[in-house]
Amino acid sequence: MERTLIIVKPEGVQRGLIGQVIGRFEAKGLKVVGLKLMRIPRETAEKHYAEHAGKPFYDGLVGHITSSPVVVGVLEGPEAVSVTRGMMGVTNPKTAAPGTIRGDYGLDIGLNIIHGSDGQESAQREIGIFFASDELVSYERANDTWVVGA
């Protein structure tokens, strides 16, 4: 099983979309193994966005993600990274397909509702930024065999 990080960004929290966003992933069959509401400290945001340091949009990214509470979660399931990315839609909500999170809830690239890890390596790195290993819970769900088979 693969794990990935998601962040319901400030605009998602402020607009009351936490339940709808998380619910879509659960309905798909992904398992929530870590979840918390938090206000991201600047140092944590800088670490999270380190690959963009020095780029013109870096300060805006850090400023935005620290501007309001977010919900940070870890999802688990087969090919969780690619499944999650597909459900999120492309970065720009104006061109994101209807039925995706960004396509259904966003209009502005700077307010695109959700962040998701873009690969397995980044997922591992990002999960480590936001969660200690003892904050992630492994468990069996009664319906797991009905979602991914035996």
Contacts of residue 127, Cβ cutoff 8 Å, sequence gap at least 6? 3, 4, 5, 34, 74, 117, 136
The answer to whether 60 and 111 have CB atoms below 8 angstroms apart is: no
* Distance from C-alpha of 48 to C-alpha of 126, rounded to nearest angstrom: 7
Q: What is the three-class DSSP state of 113?
A: coil
Sheet with 70-77, side-by-side order of all strands: 31-38, 70-77, 2-8, 114-116
The question of whether 115 is a catalytic residue gets the answer: yes
Which helix (H) or strand (E) is 103 found in, with range?
A: helix 101-105
Catalytic residue among 48, 52, 64, 115: 115
Catalytic residue positions? 115
